[in-house]
Amino acid sequence: MSRTKLIALVAGFASLVFFNPANADLTGQPAPQCQLAAMPDNPAVSWQELEGKVVYLDFWASWCVPCRQSFPFMSQMQRELKDQGLEVIAVNLDENLQDAEDFLARNPAQFSVVVDVNQQCAQQYAVKAMPSSYLIDRNGIVRKVHLGFRSGEALDFRKAVEQVLME
């Protein structure tokens, strides 16, 4: 990516974040039910199918180093907590779908991966960083928002997921 494109991307993202009236914290609010498109080898996600489930919704991009680190954590949670009602969904925000496919070839996902084609979902969730994760309870309410990924925080976030699953 050229320096000019990178500057334009950062400026555009900053304007999305800082000038977005929907930029309020979503904690305690109904989760936006935006349209999420299918990726190769992954079906589209229907919000109706998620009713009654706890959802860990994660926004990511192929260029994001912490996103790479979060994939094993999300795969483990999906594998270990699916039977309790957890659905992990990773929403890709790459402009070039091939970048996402290359990322997934190197970082396999054992959870649903979809794409936010027009970035409308990212706008509705007021995504501020990569990755951005949203814990949504069985009633469709955002219970926790987490920006970034640091392995030292993974245990605390998993505990939050397990707490919501027990409710």
From 163, 143, 165, 158, select the one nearest 73 (Cα to Cα).
Answer: 158
Asked if 140 contacts 54 with a C-beta cutoff of 8 angstroms, the reply is no
Which H or E run includes 142? strand 142-147
Kindly report, residue by residue over 13-36, the tens digit of the pLDDT. 443 443 333 335 889 999 999 888
> What is the average pLDDT score of the chain?
86
- pLDDT tens, 77-98? 999 999 999 999 999 999 999 9
- List pLDDT tens digits, range 35-64: 888 887 777 888 889 999 999 999 999 999
Dump pLDDT digits (tens) for 131-155.
999 999 999 999 999 999 988 888 8
Question: From the centroid of its chain, how far is CA 35?
Answer: 13
Question: DSSP state, 132?
Answer: E
What string of H, E and C letters represents the secondary structure of 79-110?
HHHHHHCEEEEEEECCCCHHHHHHHHHHCCCC
pLDDT for 118: 85
CATH number assigned to the domain with residue range 26-166, chosen from the 4 options 2.50.20.10, 3.40.640.10, 3.40.30.10, 1.20.150.20: 3.40.30.10
pTM over 0.85: no
| 4 Cβ contact partners less than 8 Å away, ≥ 6 residues apart | none
> What's the confidence (pLDDT) of residue 83?
97
pLDDT for 87: 97
Q: Domain locations in the chain?
A: 26-166
